[in-house]
Amino acid sequence: MDKIRIRGGQPLQGKIAVSGAKNAALPLLAASLLTDEALVLRNLPHLADIATMTHLLAQHGTDLSMAGTHPSGGHMGQVLELRTGDITSTEAPYDIVRKMRASVLVLGPLLARCHQARVSLPGGCAIGTRPVDMHIRGLEALGAEIELDDGYVVARAPGGLRGGVVVFPRVSVGATENLLMAATLAKGEVILENAAREPEVGDLANCLNAMGARIEGIGGDTLHIQGVDRLRGADYAVLPDRIEAATYAIAAAITGGKVELVGARPATMEAVTAALAQANVSIRPSDCGVMVETGGGDSDGIASIDVSTAPYPGFPTDLQAQIMALMTVADGAAMITETIFENRFQHVPELMRMGADITVKGATAMVRGRGGPGGAGLHGAPVMATDLRASVSLVLAGLAAEGETTVNRVYHLDRGYERLEEKLSACGADIMRLTV
Ligand code: EPZ
């Protein structure tokens, strides 16, 4: 079980190359099931979740071949060619799905292409129960017959899916993506209302159109899809990871450093940029991405800000733990409200072990910053990772803390951050992975 050891206090200086977005790559990989032709995906990040998805696709009959690496945004993303000539199994087994809930994204493509699917329910995870009821209701609106049997979603669509209108009761990234993929091969027009607007959904829609789908309204909350008989292959590059980029922006801020995020797309980071500007952290476009540095306001310290997570284009829930870490060293009190998941404050007790002053009441955490003149700051401690974003918030706190921090269970980190310790140590952080 690997650990990461950090000795805090070094301001980060230098460049960090942003990898391809995990949350775009996963649905794009699933989309390969929709065609018997080759789908080439570029700029894929080297992450555990990507490996899990390729393993799942292989057992559905997809042939995968590494097609080298591809220079993108100052780093080499992996290139994968996927070809599913025949789908040999329409079952997504529990032992794979339980490792990664995004496996549920094969449901829509299997149903669309094979008119049947048996996909394990993903089960909950550390941040919440994470049901898939909206995925199921949406597919039923397109004519699917679905029942739950023995922990599996058993779906059939004799004669294929038909056109229809799906109104999501709340914004769901995964449900939007599943329905979008299913709709591409439906007989007729599908309208998705209250669809998720995350850039990763847009990336999937753009790739599907490159494969011959007919999707309109990309980027908005109403998507119109005219079903087609078949999709062809395509060659598509995954967009840069806005959550990874913003995580490293906060790493620069929490250490009082200055970092250029190579390949970052400012247009996908507007809510974060606005929030950090209020916190006295500037993120401005540069020749090859964005430049992040603290100060420039009426003080050099981090100002406390209130944040409430929301679907895109609001402040991302995937950055809530990271902004909280920053607020623990700000110069006042900050209220952080989590509106998307019901249990996404697992990082709080661990940050408190490092001296953070945080009070949680329901969906809101009050953070009393330890920064500012004479502030006590944070001190290093052994801490436990619980989920992907909570883990990285502990790394961020360790970068600012006095002394040594050891983050345990770093397999959570490896699911979503490619070469994290390499990228940070290249900017001067005293961080290393301990294999025990
Ligand atoms: C995606 O998860 C992301 N994962 C998550 O990132 C991200 O936090 C989330 O979207 C919100 O932006 C991937 O893209 C692989 P949702 P997803 O459906 O699709 C509830 C990370 O750290 N809901 O938008 O599972 C759900 O419980 C991960 O990279 C239902 O009730 O999220 C949640 O409270 C974590 N019924 C809310 O909606 C459903 O059928 C939003 O979930 C579906 C969702």
Q: Which pair of tokens denotes residue 70?
A: 């591809």
One fold for 2-18+240-435 and 22-237:
yes
Domain residue ranges of the chain, discontinuous segments joined by +: 2-18+240-435, 22-237
From CA 193, how far away is CA 180, in angstroms rounded? 11
Nearest protein CA to atom 41 of ligand 1, as residue? 172
3-state secondary structure of 363: coil
DSSP 239: P
Q: Select from 23, 52, 119 the residue to mutate for testing ligand 1; criterion: most ligand atoms less than 8 Å from CB.
A: 23
Nearest atom in ligand 1 to the alpha carbon of residue 137 is 40
So what's the pLDDT on residue 374?
Answer: 56
Centre of ligand 1 to C-alpha 311, Å, is 10
Centre of ligand 1 to C-alpha 294, Å, is 31
Query: What is the CATH topology of the domain spanning 2-18+240-435?
Result: UDP-n-acetylglucosamine1-carboxyvinyl-transferase; Chain (3.65.10)
So what's the pLDDT on residue 324?
Answer: 98
Centre of ligand 1 to C-alpha 130, Å, is 7
- CATH assignment, 22-237: 3.65.10.10
Centre of ligand 1 to C-alpha 300, Å, is 36
Burial of 386 (0-12, 13-18, 19+ CB in 10 A): buried
Centre of ligand 1 to C-alpha 164, Å, is 23
Average pLDDT of the residues of the chain: 94
Centre of ligand 1 to C-alpha 227, Å, is 26
From CA 413, how far away is CA 395, in angstroms rounded? 10
Nearest atom in ligand 1 to the alpha carbon of residue 317 is 8
So what's the pLDDT on residue 122?
Answer: 84
Nearest protein CA to atom 6 of ligand 1, as residue? 318
Q: 279 Cβ partners below 8 Å, 6+ apart?
A: 253, 302, 303, 304, 305, 326, 327, 330
User: Does residue 299 carry a pLDDT above 70?
Assistant: no
So what's the pLDDT on residue 74?
Answer: 60
Q: Where is 393: in which H helix or E strand?
A: helix 388-400
Nearest atom in ligand 1 to the alpha carbon of residue 341 is 34
Nearest residue to 176 via CA among 201, 145, 207? 201
Q: Which tens digits make up the pLDDT trace of 160-187?
A: 999 999 999 999 999 999 999 999 999 9
Nearest protein CA to atom 10 of ligand 1, as residue? 173
Rounded alpha-carbon distances, angstroms, from residue 288 to 15, 75, 285, 375: 10, 12, 8, 36
So what's the pLDDT on residue 373?
Answer: 57
Nearest protein CA to atom 28 of ligand 1, as residue? 318
Which residue(s) pair with 360 in the sheet?
365
Active site residue 207: no
Q: Which of 114, 125, 207, 288 is catalytic?
A: 125
Q: Output the pTM of the full model.
A: 0.96
Q: Which tens digits make up the pLDDT trace of 76-114?
A: 679 999 999 999 999 999 999 988 999 999 999 999 999
So what's the pLDDT on residue 241?
Answer: 97
Q: Which tens digits make up the pLDDT trace of 337-364?
A: 999 999 899 999 999 999 999 999 999 9
pLDDT band at 377 (very low <50, low <70, confident <90, very high): confident
* 349 upstream amide cis, omega within 30 of 0: no
Q: E strands of 11-161, at which residues?
A: 13-17, 38-44, 63-72, 75-83, 91-92, 116-120, 145-149, 152-156
Share of residues in the chain with pLDDT > 70 (%): 96
Nearest protein CA to atom 5 of ligand 1, as residue? 318
Asked if 99 and 266 touch (Cβ cutoff 8 Å), the reply is no
Q: Select from 104, 172, 338 the residue to mutate for testing ligand 1; criterion: most ligand atoms less than 8 Å from CB.
A: 172
Burial of 188 (0-12, 13-18, 19+ CB in 10 A): middle
Share of residues in the chain with pLDDT > 90 (%): 88
Nearest protein CA to atom 43 of ligand 1, as residue? 132
Nearest atom in ligand 1 to the alpha carbon of residue 388 is 22
So what's the pLDDT on residue 124?
Answer: 67
User: Does residue 398 carry a pLDDT above 90?
Assistant: yes
Nearest atom in ligand 1 to the alpha carbon of residue 49 is 15
Q: Which tens digits make up the pLDDT trace of 47-65?
A: 999 999 999 999 999 999 9
Q: Select from 56, 104, 125, 130 the residue to mutate for testing ligand 1; criterion: most ligand atoms less than 8 Å from CB.
A: 130
3-state secondary structure of 43: strand
Centre of ligand 1 to C-alpha 272, Å, is 19
Q: Which tens digits make up the pLDDT trace of 236-281?
A: 999 999 999 999 999 999 999 999 999 999 999 999 999 999 999 9
More confident residue, 1 or 202: 202
- Pocket around ligand 1 at a 6 A CB cut-off: 23, 26, 102, 128, 130-135, 170, 172-175, 317-318, 340-341, 388-389, 416
Nearest protein CA to atom 16 of ligand 1, as residue? 172
Centre of ligand 1 to C-alpha 173, Å, is 6
User: Does residue 310 carry a pLDDT above 60?
Assistant: yes
pLDDT band at 126 (very low <50, low <70, confident <90, very high): confident
